[in-house]
Structure formats: C-alpha cells, structure tokens
Amino acid sequence: MAPLMLFVKNGEKANVVVRGARVVDPSEGIDATLDVRIDNGVIAAVGENLDANEHRVIDAKGLVLAPAFVDPHVHLRTPGREDEETIASGTAAAAAGGYCAIMAMPNTDPVVDSAATLGALVETAQREARVRVGFLAAITRGQHGEELTEMAELAEAGAVAFSDDGVPVRSAGMMRRALQYSSITGRPLALHCEEPSLSHGGHVHEGAVAAELGFAGYPSVAESVMVERDLALAGYEEQPIHLLHLSAAESVAALRRALENGVHATAEVTPHHLVLTDEAVRSLDSNVKMNPPLRAERDRAALLDALRDGTISSIATDHAPHARHEKEVPFEAAPFGVTGLETAFAVLYTRLVKPGLLSLEMLLERMSAGPARAFGVAQPRVAPGAVADLVLLDLEREWQVEETAFRSRSWNSWLLGETLSGAVRATIAAGSLVHEA
C-alpha cells in the first residue's frame, strides 16, 4: 500500500518562540498559559519562561495558540479554472484561515482521473503550495459514473482519497466495486450523497421558503436515501467511507445508526449548514446557493447536535470559488458553491462559541484532529517533537469581511459585509510561518 502523501513547497523553517499564549490542544489535554519554542520548524519545547535561544519572539499574551486546522474539502479549481483559484491562491487563503493542510477535490477540468493529471498537480503543489495539499482523485473516469479509475495507480501517484464530488456515484453496483477496489488502495471514498432523480432541478431546500419563492425544491430525502445506500454498501463491504457536507437530519440519524452497527464511516459538516437555514435564501443572494442546499431549522439543529456528540467529527468548508460574472446572475441561473477558507473559524466562533452553543475546545478539535483522523493524515499537535502546525488566534479582535481582503481569487462569500469576532494572527504550517496579520 502506498504511503499517504500531502504536498507543500519547501519553505523556510521557523525558529520562533511564541510567548505567553493560552495554549489549547484538546487532544493533548492542554489548556494553559505557556511558551512554545520552535526550532527549525519542529516544536522543541512547551513550558513556562522558555529561553528565546536567539529566536524571534512572538508576544502572544491574550492570544490562543492551537493545532492548525485541516480542511477535508476544498475546490482549488486547477486545472482548468485558474481565473477562480490556483494552488498558490487557494493555499494562501487556507494559510490566512489558519489551516495547515487541505484536501483538494478532483472535479476540475480535466477531472483528476489519471496519474498524469495528478502528477502535474503534485509538481505544482511542490512549487506553490503554502500549506500541505492532499489531492483526491476521481472514483470514476471523468466522474461519469460508468468506469472506475485506475485507483491503485492513482494512490501510488499520491491520491489521498477518492471522490466524484460535485456529483454522486449513481449506480449502486459501481459504488460497490469502488469500495472493493478501495480495500486495495487503503484510501477512503469521500462521497457526495445525492439521488439525482429526487434532487433533479432543485435550487433550494424543498420546504415553505422554496414554495413561497416559487423555486423547484431539492428535498432532504435526496441526500438521506443516498447516505443510507452508501452506509449499507460500506457496511457490507467493510470498507471506510467519508460522507461529504451532510445537510439533513435524516442523514445524521442514518449515520448514527450505522456507527452503532460498526460501519466505518466519518462525516463532515460545513459552517453554512451549521449556522444558516433556508430562510437565508429569501435574500436571493446567489452566495447562499450551494449543494446540498441550506435546509430547515430542525436539520441545522441535528447537525449541531451530531457535531457535539462526535457523530460528525469534521468541519469542512467546501470552499467553492466562482467567478463574479457567474454568480452575479439571477439566483436560479447561478452555480452552486461558496468560499469559506478565510472565514470558517471566525464565523463559527462568532455564531456558535460566543453564544455558548459550542465550546472553543470542541470547535478546535473538529477543525483539526477530527478531519486529520478521517483521512489518516498526521494530526497537528502542540507537543515536543511534532512538526509545527499551529494557529495563533485573537478571539477579541473584530473584523469586517471585505472582498478586497480575500487571498482567494474569488469572493463568493455569504459573509460579505458581516462583522466577525476571532481573527487568525499567524499560521505555521509544515514548520514554516506561512501567514501573519
């Protein structure tokens, strides 16, 4: 089995002492005011009154230092749509958002379904990526759902997992064969669960808001029946799956039952599904149009409960950049997807942690250790000997989301103009200081 690989440019390794931060690492059971010394990109010491060793000292009094974030679901739009995002811009956005690693989806143009296409991305990442990138490869050729890709070869070439994200694998038989092959590669399948014959033509959640606005509805059962199918197949084949961007209460219930029955599944939820409902669609802002759509309050509440109890172990942005001209059209004509790398922590801190709906520790865990475990990549830790993958957060700082401040090439954010609390002051990824603000 090929070893798991993420790719990053070889940056200058940090020699830094972070002085007097509140160090919070839920996995290590740390929540204390401490110094952290980084020698040549590796955490050398965690303690009180550490010697600066002639390193640069970052005064972090009043700030929180935590394991940097891992995003299991990002669209980097390359190859094919470099006007919307590139590996350089997407990883700069990730660094600004506090991420040390991101997983890139293969629904590009061309689709990442061959070792040659994947190899070109790996080379670009080794030149341009500020934070580690794990590349997913397609499950089926061209994501057409008709023929499996050469999964073993793709795993050898560096694929971290497999996904047809953007579209579901329609055929149950094809999904079963993909699960059988994934046992050879040792890589999970990351699944976009949507039954097209039920979601068909829908722009927003099927409910009162869609009916009032006269939009075709995309019912929650379009997701949950596919979640049930894929959990059943994963259980039958005893293979791991990762469920992308869950949105519906019924999907959560199905996942909970499957986990009780020993199915090896992980799942993620996005910031927008955690804090918004289909009521937001009344604005007709195309930046609240995403797939799966924003759903009802009972769905949002179920997702938050599942995040709290660990049924859903990862927060994913599903960062989906789109060009302005594509989004500045009537709601029904706009493509699905919103950006999220640069706002994920702040919006969840502002809307969930500050009002007491989620603890800071749990938010940090679900944005870092949870997704790292789901993909089997090294978990960022605040511990001597670990490569420095750290985020320095200013919880007191308020800032306004402005399109001119984005590092991403796109600004189709549903948070434009909003004031958020909690800012990323610095990110250290793979031992290099990759962002400072």
Which residues participate in catalysis according to the annotation?
318
Between 20 and 166, CB nearer to Zn ion: 166
Give 265's contacts (C-beta < 8 A, 6+ positions apart).
Answer: 231, 234, 240, 241, 242, 243, 255, 258, 259
**Quick check: 318 binds Zn ion (CB under 5 A)?**
yes
Region near Zn ion per CB under 5 A, out of 26-34, 164-172, 339-347, 401-409:
164-172
Residue number, 171 or 359, with CB nearest to Zn ion: 171
User: Could you please report the per-residue DSSP string of 297-351?
Assistant: HHHHHHHHHHHHHTSS-EE---B----HHHHSS-GGGSPS-B--TTTHHHHHIII
Per CB under 5 A, 242 contacts Zn ion: no
- Cβ-based nearer residue to Zn ion, 223 or 389: 223
CA neighbor of 74 nearest in space, from 204, 166, 202? 166
Taking the complex as a whole, the smallest distance from the CB of residue 291 to Zn ion amounts, in Å, to: 6
Q: Which stretch binds Zn ion (CB under 5 A): 2-10, 157-165, 178-186, 382-390?
A: 157-165
Strands (E), 87-230: 99-104, 132-137, 159-162, 189-191, 204-205, 217-218
Shortest distance in whole angstroms from residue 157 CB to Zn ion? 22
Name the minimum Å distance from CB 50 to Zn ion.
Answer: 42
Distances (CA, A) of 200 to 136, 173, 218, 230: 26, 21, 7, 19
Strands laid side by side in the 189-191 sheet:
69-74, 99-104, 132-137, 159-162, 189-191, 241-243, 265-269, 314-315
Stretch (H or E) spanning 178: helix 172-185
Site pattern 171..200 for Zn ion (x: CB under 5 A): ---------------------x--------
Contact 252, 260 (CB under 8 A): no
Closest to Zn ion by CB, 66 or 316:
316
Shortest reach from residue 336's CB to Zn ion, in Å: 8
User: Residue 18 or residue 161: which is nearer to Zn ion going by CB?
Assistant: 161
Q: Which of 71, 84, 85, 165 binds Zn ion (CB under 5 A)?
A: 165
Please tell me whether residue 113 binds Zn ion under the rule CB under 5 A: no
Selection from 85, 66, 60, 63 nearest residue 342 by Cα: 85
Q: How far is the CB of 337 from Zn ion (least distance, A)?
A: 7
CB of 19 or CB of 242, closer to Zn ion: 242
Q: Look at the alpha carbons of 181, 183, 189, 193 in this order and tell me if their dihedral is positive or negative.
A: positive
* Nearest distance in Å: CB 354, Zn ion: 28
Compare residues 162 and 349 and give the one whose CB is closer to Zn ion: 162
Q: Determine the residue with CB nearest Zn ion.
A: 192
Task: State the minimum distance, in angstroms, from the CB of residue 168 to Zn ion.
Answer: 9
Q: Alpha-carbon distance 326 to 135, whole Å? A: 26
Q: How far apart are the C-alpha atoms of 155 and 186, rounded to whole Å?
A: 9
At 12, list the tokens: 């200058």
Question: Which residue type does 277 have?
Answer: T
Q: Which stretch binds Zn ion (CB under 5 A): 16-24, 162-170, 247-255, 424-432?
A: 162-170
Pairwise CA distance, residues 90 & 84, whole Å = 9
- DSSP code of 114? S
Query: Which residue from 142, 139, 135 is spatially nearest to 151, judged by alpha carbons?
Result: 139
Q: Which stretch binds Zn ion (CB under 5 A): 6-14, 17-25, 165-173, 213-221?
A: 165-173
Contact positions with Zn ion (CB under 5 A) in 416-435: none
Residue range at the interface with Zn ion (CB under 5 A); choices 163-171, 216-224, 348-356, 412-420: 163-171
- Name the site residues for Zn ion (rule: CB under 5 A): 165, 192, 318
